[in-house]
Amino acid sequence: ALGWFKEPITSMDDFRKYRFRAPPGIPGQTYNDIGVAAVAMGGGDILPALEKGTIDAAEWCCPKPDSVFGFQKVLKHYYLQGLHQVVVNADLYINGDVYDGLTDHQKKALEVAANASLMKSMSYRIYENGKALQKLTGEDGVILHDTPTDYFTEYMNAARATLEKNAEDNAFFKKVWESQKAFAEVAVPFWAGAQTSNANLGRAFADSLK
């Protein structure tokens, strides 16, 4: 999600008025590059910082964990579309030498278990976040907004420049970045178009249930 704000934002100029809790590392640096005063801190520190005025706006994850932290107590304007994940997926890392020592059966078991875990996690989290969002907007007085369109262009242009700079400085980073770009060139045009269609159909169906 993009995050939580005291007042509605309609452009990046509005966004730049706030001291914003953002993820550390590349995301935070990218925000700084486009003029957003990004502040990194742990999840448990966000609500106290908002209450004290140390920061003015914040993001963490998505409706369910955000509501557990209680951001809705002090901020009422919520934006779902942003750089961060809509749902949380876990990663599994295995030492290469250890993995190479596994049997084919063991490798296949890991693959099947990882795929099953991913699908179960996504289904669970999509539903739980949906329930949390209903409560936020229906009971807690939170207003859901669409993210300003200029956010996407500004952020992605700055992010690409940051990623390219990191690729120049680190050979392994470059290898991963080039792999991701090659994947995105194939997958993103299809998936972005399909998701737009799915989202429009989903909204129409949801409206028909009211």
In this prediction, residue 29 carries a pLDDT of 94
The stretches in the chain having pLDDT less than 70 are 86-88
Q: Are 71 and 141 in contact (CB under 8 A)?
A: no
In this prediction, residue 186 carries a pLDDT of 97
Which token pair is 159? Answer: 């992010």
**CA dist., res. 155 & res. 203, Å (int):** 26
Sheet of 3-5, strand order: 37-39, 19-21, 57-58, 3-5, 77-79, 143-145
In this prediction, residue 176 carries a pLDDT of 96
Q: Are 30 and 163 in contact (CB under 8 A)?
A: no
In this prediction, residue 111 carries a pLDDT of 95
- 185's enclosing H/E stretch is helix 171-208
Domain segments of the chain as ranges:
3-169, 170-210
- Collapsing DSSP states into helix, strand and coil, what is residue 145? strand
**CA dist., res. 207 & res. 199, Å (int):** 12
Which token pair is 115? Answer: 């795929």
pLDDT, one tens digit per residue, over 106-119 is 999 999 999 998 88
- Collapsing DSSP states into helix, strand and coil, what is residue 57? strand
Mark out the alpha helices in 34-148 (DSSP H runs).
43-52, 63-69, 96-100, 104-138
Q: Are 67 and 76 in contact (CB under 8 A)?
A: no
Q: Would you identify the CATH topology of the domain 3-169?
A: D-Maltodextrin-Binding Protein; domain 2 (3.40.190)
Q: Name the DSSP letter for residue 35.
A: T
pTM, entire model: 0.88
Q: Are 35 and 16 in contact (CB under 8 A)?
A: yes
